[in-house]
């Protein structure tokens, strides 16, 4: 089972990204679950979402304490939350950053999701929407296929800019 924890702030699309990732994994022929953890949050408050992907039915629907991959949609969350807590040794970190950030003991994948969203005008209530570009980055990492990512995005959103955002992140992320 592959376990992913997504750290974001309310309104950035972390919960939607988890749902999209699970849908894309399902389209790839996998089993997947997506589970958000938030209380009476407001826009801008830290939010955590969890995704499990496996070749077999998943019977766990809870927090992920030891993820294989951590996704950080807002580096500011790192000041309030230990996003690396429990990350498996050698685990991966996908981080919304324009340049590489060294994370000792883990392989980090920086991609400027915010820049991609802003360049395409994907903004809601003044905040860049990061849920669709992050799917492209996850596809580049091999978590899902790009075709399934685009199909999941198209199923949930009619605005073609969302697919273009995923394609741009796929192209930008260095393997």
Rama region for 86: left / alpha / beta (φ>0; ψ in -120 to 50; rest): left
Q: Are 115 and 93 in contact (CB under 8 A)?
A: no
Chain segment 132-144, per-residue pLDDT in tens: 999 999 999 999 9
pLDDT band at 104 (very low <50, low <70, confident <90, very high): confident
Whether pLDDT at 154 is above 90: yes
All domains in the chain, ordered by first residue: 2-172 (3.40.920.10)
Q: What is the mean pLDDT of residues 100-117?
A: 89
- How far does the chain reach from its first CA to its final CA, in angstroms? 22
Q: Judging by beta carbons within 10 Å of its beta carbon (0-12, 13-18, 19+), is residue 10 exposed, middle or buried?
A: middle
Chain segment 45-98, per-residue pLDDT in tens: 789 999 999 999 999 988 999 999 999 999 999 888 899 999 999 999 999 998
Its pTM stands at: 0.94
- The C-alpha atoms of residue 165 and residue 105 are separated, in whole angstroms, by 30
């Amino acid at each position: 089972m592959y376990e992913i924890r997504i750290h974001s702030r309310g309104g950035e699309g972390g919960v939607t990204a988890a749902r999209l990732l699970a849908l894309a994994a399902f389209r790839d022929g996998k089993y997947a679950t997506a589970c958000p953890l938030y209380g009476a949050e407001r826009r801008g408050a830290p939010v955590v979402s969890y995704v499990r992907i496996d070749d077999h039915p998943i019977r766990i629907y809870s927090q992920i304490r030891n993820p294989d991959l951590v996704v950080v949609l807002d580096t500011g969350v790192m000041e309030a939350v230990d996003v690396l807590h429990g990350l498996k040794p050698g685990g991966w970190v996908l981080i919304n950053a324009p340049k590489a950030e060294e994370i000792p003991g883990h392989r980090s994948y920086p991609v400027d999701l915010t820049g991609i969203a802003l360049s395409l005008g994907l903004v809601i209530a003044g905040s860049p929407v990061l849920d669709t570009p992050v799917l492209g980055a996850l596809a580049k990492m091999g978590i899902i296929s790009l075709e399934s990512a685009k199909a999941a995005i198209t199923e949930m959103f009619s605005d073609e800019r969302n697919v273009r955002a995923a394609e741009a992140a796929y192209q930008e992320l260095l393997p």
